[in-house]
Structure 1
Amino acid sequence: MKPSKKILNDFGGIMYSTDPSFVYPEEETTATAILANNQQHLKVMLDRKNRGGKAVTLITGFVGGPEDLEKLAKQLKTKCGVGGAAKDGEILIQGDFRNKVVELLQKEGYKVKRSGG
């Protein structure tokens, strides 16, 4: 992942300082620790909002880094034989694969709960 550009908001609104010893406050980056599979509580639901009526299976509640999320998403997409995406801490699988996704995640050791209808 490439580093994001520094913008004015990153500096708390400070544009210029005449103090020669002034140092811009650096934001602390905390590494998200990945939980073991049996400690993860995932929710699987069907979502049709803002997708033109197309149904997607939505998996939420994953705790871990973006690489781990991508890895799990790729595994689920491959097993279901469809496309999808992993963004904003959620996994989107194209189509209604709730039952299959729940079974696959339970085999991996995740605590899974079906949510919604």
Structure 2
Amino acid sequence: MKSNDWKNRLGVMYSTNPDFQYNTDEEDEKETLEKEKQQLRISLDKRNRAGKAVTLITGFVGSAEDLAVLGKFLKVKCGVGGSAKEGEIVIQGDLRNKVLDILQKEGYTKSRII
């Protein structure tokens, strides 16, 4: 159930319509697919990164929380830094083959390097 807190409705005028629903601009998160159905794409990216290479994992379908968990797992297994946001996981360095091996061992069978 969505929060009905008055602070989220600041600036909204009073309505006499009994069926009026406040629009809070909250997006429903997608349901996370099973590991076997995830089609993750692993690539090398150097654009807008001062010439430094990063491994980019895209194609994750699911909630932001599950994406963050997978991103943290990959960063720990690779022993490097990175981030997980907006449907992408960024791992510092060119670790495409290592990330692919880790994902396949975890059950992400449709993962591939592009």
Tell me the residue number matched to 2:16. 20
1:32 offset after TM fit, Å?
1.3
Tell me the residue number matched to 2:41. 43
1:105 offset after TM fit, Å?
0.4
* TM value normalised by structure 2: 0.80
In structure 2, distance between residues paired with 1:57 and 1:113 = 13
Structure 1 runs of 4+ aligned residues shifted over 2 Å read 15-31
Unmatched 5+ stretches in structure 1 = 8-14
Root mean square deviation, CA, Å: 2.5
Number of residue pairs the alignment of both structures matches: 106
Tell me the residue number matched to 1:98. 96
Q: Which amino acid aligns with 1:112?
A: S
1:44 offset after TM fit, Å?
0.1
Pairing partner for 1:66 from 52, 58, 64: 64
Percent identity between the aligned chains? Answer: 51
Matched, 1:56 2:54: yes
In structure 1, distance between residues paired with 2:65 and 2:27 = 16
Tell me the residue number matched to 2:75. 77
Q: Which amino acid aligns with 1:113?
A: R
